[in-house]
């Protein structure tokens, strides 16, 4: 980007020294570690007040900084734009830059699971024909979305933006900021059910992504989900559905799952065979969403096929690693909810294994009053003939322990409460052999990454 302070001040309704109006800003950052010389610093409220980092922004040769009105006057050597709220000012600037400066087509993607993977697949498909910018990492909230917009090159033709939410109204605001041409909902799960109470309310919140969609926009959604089917009936937009069921506009056939890739065929192009470099049948539906977006922008089927075969995922949350004993470890410790946990266990149970399959599972957080029921429901995917040893860690996971006691012998069921992770690591290290497969899955707050580090430390040294 390239804008003068005078233009920025007009957009965000800021007070500033007009004599400095011709100072040029070439980037925006809210973290001084990412700040480039000539950039605009946005001090946000977090664990620390962002204004305390302004001296560091000066050292980084920032061109200017926002200042919250309740912090003015603020003593600094760089130009300052005084605004009511720096975050709102950044959002206003992002909207202006998007609509008035770059004006790309916008694809917005949300869902309880699969947002990031679908974003990466979609961007790869569209990049075969267009200049595409996508959400970096998981910058999908009220800070990340405007930062993604402000990072666009002026020649961006399509912006693929991931949108997350953990409260009502959040997706509505993000959608109205970005004004999507295409909105995608991957699925409705139980993520954040502690705050929303029911899947119906989660579905209502996900539908907010349509609040800013252009009148001639397209709504792409998982047609296997009745909650979305019901709500889509009242939507006055063009619509396309994807899924497994044959009543979808695009449905999958002949899925062939492997530990490091997944093959599938489609109803629409029976002579084309697709192969995506990620495990899990659940990732096939993510690919279907990306395919529908690609077809909206007239990408040829053969180009879509090639793009999906080589796409790169932003953050490999289901990653195969080699452990200290030579065992294969499937690490998925970034996040967890019941839908995702069941899906990864289902796939893990089918992988070829010369030794034992060992599942290490931790609490799934933010499930609220439904926690006990949802943890216990995971038992449906754990079978002694498929998963030999089950290690459970945490407090919320105890109902799963109780449910598994009906099918697992005590010597194959291992429970460790919070605070005994070290003891669990010691037991795992004593048990694991070179031919075993190990699954690690829990919410990030359970810190199973410590278990992963212990099981792989000698390999990484």
**Which of residues 25, 53, 84 is at a domain's end?**
84
Decide if 95 is inside a domain. Answer: no
Decide if 235 is inside a domain. Answer: yes
Decide if 188 is inside a domain. Answer: yes
Q: Which of 437, 449, 444 is nearest to 259 (CA)?
A: 437
Annotated binding-site members for ATP: 111-117
Clarify whether residues 154 and 60 are in a common domain: no
Clarify whether residues 305 and 323 are in a common domain: no
Give the pLDDT score at 314.
73
Could you give the CA distance from residue 370 to residue 344 in angstroms, rounded to a whole number?
21
Confidence of residue 182 (pLDDT cuts 50, 70, 90): very high
Give the pLDDT score at 260.
85
Range of the domain at 255: 104-310
**Which of residues 270, 292, 310 is at a domain's end?**
310
Mean pLDDT for the stretch of residues 323-339: 90
Dihedral sign for Cα 181, 186, 188, 191, please: negative
Clarify whether residues 129 and 256 are in a common domain: yes
Clarify whether residues 381 and 442 are in a common domain: yes
Decide if 93 is inside a domain. Answer: no
Clarify whether residues 138 and 243 are in a common domain: yes
Decide if 292 is inside a domain. Answer: yes
Dihedral sign for Cα 323, 325, 328, 330, please: negative
Show Cβ contacts of residue 7 under 8 Å, excluding neighbours closer than 6 positions: none
Res 194 pLDDT > 60: no
CATH number at residue 68: 3.40.1390.10
CATH number at residue 215: 3.40.1190.10
Decide if 97 is inside a domain. Answer: no
Clarify whether residues 270 and 409 are in a common domain: no
Q: Which of 199, 169, 329 is nearest to 259 (CA)?
A: 329
Clarify whether residues 164 and 140 are in a common domain: yes
**Which comes out higher in pLDDT, residue 270 or 208?**
208
Clarify whether residues 341 and 290 are in a common domain: no
**Which of residues 310, 336, 359 is at a domain's end?**
310
Q: Please, what is the average pLDDT of the chain?
A: 93
Clarify whether residues 234 and 354 are in a common domain: no
Decide if 55 is inside a domain. Answer: yes
Give the pLDDT score at 346.
92
Task: Give the model confidence (pLDDT) of 46-71 as tens digits.
Answer: 889 999 999 999 999 999 999 999 99
Clarify whether residues 282 and 193 are in a common domain: yes
User: Beta strand pairing status for 413-416 and 132-134?
Assistant: unpaired
| Domains in the chain, number | 3
Mean pLDDT for the stretch of residues 30-36: 96
Decide if 91 is inside a domain. Answer: no
CATH number at residue 423: 3.90.190.20
Mean pLDDT for the stretch of residues 313-342: 85
């Amino acid at each position: 980007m390239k804008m003068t302070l005078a233009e920025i001040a007009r957009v965000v309704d800021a007070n500033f020294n007009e004599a400095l109006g011709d100072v040029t800003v070439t980037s925006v950052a809210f973290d001084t570690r990412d700040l480039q010389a000539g950039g605009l610093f946005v001090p946000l409220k977090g664990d620390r007040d962002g204004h305390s980092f302004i001296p560091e922004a000066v050292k980084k040769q920032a061109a200017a900084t926002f200042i919250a009105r309740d912090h003015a006057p603020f003593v600094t050597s760089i130009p300052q734009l005084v605004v009511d709220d720096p975050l709102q000012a950044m959002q206003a600037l992002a909207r202006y830059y998007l609509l008035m400066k770059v004006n790309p087509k916008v694809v917005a993607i949300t869902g309880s699971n699969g947002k990031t993977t679908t974003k990466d697949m979609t961007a790869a498909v569209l990049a075969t024909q267009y200049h595409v910018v996508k959400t970096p990492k998981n910058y999908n909230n009220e800070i990340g979305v405007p930062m993604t917009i402000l990072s666009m090159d002026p020649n961006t033709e399509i912006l693929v933006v991931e949108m997350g939410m953990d409260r009502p109204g959040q997706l509505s605001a993000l959608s109205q900021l970005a004004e999507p041409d295409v909105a995608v909902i991957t699925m409705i799960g139980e993520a954040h059910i502690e705050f929303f109470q029911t899947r119906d309310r989660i579905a209502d919140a996900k539908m907010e992504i349509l609040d800013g969609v252009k009148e001639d926009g397209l709504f792409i959604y998982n047609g296997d989900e009745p909650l979305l089917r019901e709500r889509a009936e009242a939507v006055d937009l063009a619509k396309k559905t994807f899924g497994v069921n044959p009543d979808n506009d695009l449905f999958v056939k002949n899925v062939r799952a492997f530990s490091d890739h997944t093959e599938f065929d489609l109803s629409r192009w029976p002579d084309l065979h697709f192969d995506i470099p990620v495990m899990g049948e659940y990732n096939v539906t993510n690919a279907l969403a990306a395919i529908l977006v690609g077809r909206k922008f007239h990408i040829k089927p053969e180009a879509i096929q090639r793009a999906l075969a080589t796409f790169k995922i932003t953050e490999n949350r289901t990653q195969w690693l080699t452990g200290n004993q030579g065992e294969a470890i499937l690490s998925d410790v970034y996040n967890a909810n019941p839908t995702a946990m069941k899906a990864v266990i289902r796939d893990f149970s089918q992988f070829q294994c010369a030794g034992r399959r060992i599942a290490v599972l931790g609490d799934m957080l933010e499930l609220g009053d439904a926690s006990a029921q949802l943890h216990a429901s995971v038992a449906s995917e754990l079978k002694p003939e498929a998963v030999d040893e089950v290690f459970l860690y945490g407090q919320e996971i105890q109902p799963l322990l109780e449910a598994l006691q009906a099918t697992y012998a005590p010597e194959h069921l291992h429970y460790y409460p919070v605070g005994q992770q070290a003891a669990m690591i010691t037991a795992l290290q004593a048990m694991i052999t070179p031919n075993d497969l190990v699954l690690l899955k829990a919410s990030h707050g359970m810190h199973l990454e410590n278990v992963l580090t212990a099981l792989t430390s000698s390999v990484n040294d």
